[in-house]
Chains A and B, each alone.
Chain A
Amino acid sequence: EDQVTQSPEALRLQEGESSSLNCSYTVSGLRGLFWYRQDPGKGPEFLFTLYSAGEEKEKERLKATLTKKESFLHITAPKPEDSATYLCAVLANSGGYQKVTFGTGTKLQVIP
């Protein structure tokens, strides 16, 4: 069974204090790993897709990396507007079709 685990569950940072969020996965036939941010009461906002181990992508203060077992979302010098729940999901082959499995998310709070 595909599993996606995110850690920590919640994280509080001071503005400017860099940190990393982790997404560990156990799937067969990985086709892609997605990172999203979700604000309360809204749908997830797409951030990145990573397709193979060693791949990295950056967007403003965010950088996502991927290995064969996990992905990290690095947040450099975060600002209060970065506060949100960050979700990772994997797209994998499952029983003849493709399935998306989400982690439970990391709730990030950035304090001014």
Chain B
Amino acid sequence: GAVVSQHPSWVICKSGTSVKIECRSLDFQATTMFWYRQFPKQSLMLMATSNEGSKATYEQGVEKDKFLINHASLTLSTLTVTSAHPEDSSFYICSARVGGTKDTQYFGPGTRLTVL
């Protein structure tokens, strides 16, 4: 089956610093990658949709200057949380979409971010 990896899986940083999270599709090329965040005991909230070679589409209420998304290739997307603050602490999950007639998305294992 399709495998999506995320790195790092767990990160702690100081307030004001920036953190980059990588999302890779390991055995397929993804037409689109999505970034989600999930707070404890809540469902996934879509942050942005990332298409290779173009600007990401952000959901309402998500600051594009704070959450920088770069989709450099069909197998790699990165999310950079800039000037992180404690309220940015969350579980960040990416997914990679396999398009075409059998549209499906596969999720990475997630990245736990804690901002002190």
Contact = CB atoms under 8 A, between A and B. Distances in A.
To the question of whether A and B form a pair in one complex, the answer is yes
Given A41-B112, A42-B109, A44-B93, A99 B103 contact: no
A41 B102 CA distance: 28
A87 B111 CA distance: 19
A85 B33 CA distance: 23
A102 B34 CA distance: 13
A31 B2 CA distance: 20
B93 A43 contact: yes
Given A42-B109, A42-B110, A49 B104 contact: yes
A41 B44 contact: no
Contacts of A89: 44
Main DSSP-derived SS at the A contact region:
strand
Contacts of A97: 49, 57
B46 A87 contact: no
Interface of B: 1-2, 4, 6, 34, 36, 42-46, 49, 57, 91, 93, 95, 102-110, 112
Given A49-B103, A97-B57, 5 more contacts: A49-B104, A89-B44, A99-B46, A100-B34, A105-B43
Interface of A: 31-32, 34, 36, 41-46, 49, 51, 87, 89, 91, 97-105
